[in-house]
Structure 1
Amino acid sequence: MGEIMRRRGTARVAAGVLAVAVAIAGCSKTGGATATSEKSKSGPRTIGVSVADQKSLFYIAAVDGMRKMAAQTGDKLIVLSADNNATQQVNQVNNLVTQRVDALIFIAQDATSALAGVRAANKAGIPVVAVDEKPESGDVKLATYIATDSVKAADNLCTWLFKQIGNSGEIGILRGVLGATAEVQRSKGCKQALARTPGIKVVATQSANWDETQAYKATQNMLQANPGIKAIFGESDAMGLGAAKAAKDAGRKIVSVGIDGFPTMVAGIKQGLTQATEAQIPYKMGQRAVTNADQILSGQGSQVPALQYQDTTLVTSATVNPVDFYGPNVK
């Protein structure tokens, strides 16, 4: 989901979220978002924004995009950051619901908090624009879901990675927070590429929770246990960077890649530390979220697609210069 990637989760936090979720009354099957989206609300509108954190570059850029667009639409934003605490995020969403915001833009910490938060908004008849993360189960309704096409991104990146090592040899995989939407989709995408490339053997897989430091330690263990590893696929840039730094410190030459398009990863590619990333467009995704919320509140909800997957761009040493997907304020 800056250098410490988004969506950290632990079993303890998930359990806490589930406890909060149980306390929230379920919504009806028809949901509240659709009914609200068909009503035209004139005058100043208030859009609540619940975001997992404001440390990750992805989230910072997304909120920057929201603020930029809200200045154009005239909507008021209430932005709350959960500081990577899923239970806190559920409580914050409940507070926004209590304030009767007109719409909710929700970038959830994980699928569990997403379920509880969307359910609360549905019950109150508040339309939900989900960005990046969504409930993986449950009887809830979204007005729209805006996300990176992570399956396609991972498939493309792994296909490129395999070619760099001659479509043959041993690799390691660093996974994000297990069960998170992006982790599930990126794992699926790379598996698709693996199915087409029988010469590649995955000899080590470990979750590093989107985190550079955890990825560094995991890669140290991988390289020590598997001296034949030629490459590591990090499901995020932070993990790709951690892998590259661990390999460098161990005196090992590997191909290291990630997904995000962080400026730090782009700098690593320029320096030859890392080799590639699939760049997301969080700044534009944030702008789109506000645009869609404004359309819904203006009675134009039928014009907003239910699902909006955004393509990524492969960035390598040959294409590194034109990359600027994180907006003007992220360095």
Structure 2
Amino acid sequence: MSTDSHPLSSSSTLVPGGALRLADWGVISARGEEAAKFLHGQLTQDLVLQSTEQARLAGYCSAKGRLLATLLAVKTGADELLLALPAELLAPTLKRLSMFVLRAKCKLADASAELAVWGLAGEAARAWLGEAAPAAVWGVTQRDGARVVRLPDGANALPRYLLLQGTAAAAPDLPALDAADWSWAEVEAGLAWVRQPTVEQFVPQMLNLELLGGVNFQKGCYPGQEVVARSQYRGTIKRRTFLFATEDAPAPQVGQELFHSADPGQPAGLVAAAAQRGGRGLLLAEVKLAALDEGSLHLGAADGPRLAPQPMPYLVGEPQ
């Protein structure tokens, strides 16, 4: 954008380390000798060649290539995968996937009552995990029977992990992490999960999903694959997700529209993820690339809070 960005200072964004039970997350289990093959044909990722040492960020698309959900696939063995995703989308995702199982040797179930999802962050979390701390993003290890997934780092190289463990297991021996701090670190990492207000709003590239390793363009067909591939190779993506901040404004909300100063009559973007700490707001918003050239972006209305662009943790550009 032509207006200057205003990066938040490291002191204002520093997130403390600790652990948080992600009560707004759930887990789908897929079991059977054809579980990986079935999911491979439904999601944007290669799950057939997936190993137990690497998680897969993936999207579940409609036939029009629009994201119905984003999830994290963890393979626990040759015949079982776990799919972690926001709990609000678990039931519709499970129902839709189940419609297409047909004769495939795969049984899908809601495993949220058996498995808890924890978010871990900071050097304290890395120390607690010890040798079980995965070194690479999306790496998977085991600790006392639980699965540990390395997530993209937050700002200031803040290490983040997802822990999948039995609901009866003891909580991680770490300080309690505030939900607002976890959300802030998630947004800083540039990762926006599809939530109820954003179902079918984006093709994967609009959320930068392929930049985060969430799309495999060499694998076989899946629902919406032609649309996703066409967007990638014909350069038809005109909208991308970027990071913005607000000061002394109401907390930004997922699904809230953005407006551009030069075109106040129609939305220029949509909030995909948001966090609020101490009067400061941080959000990932999918916006028209043309809206970044000049003028200013505002939250909720053309005269709403002005958005200050923030540096992204990875390079965002046109599909290659």
What is the TM-score with the length of structure 2 in the denominator? 0.27
Greater fraction strand: 2
What is the TM-score with the length of structure 1 in the denominator? 0.26
Greater fraction helix: 1
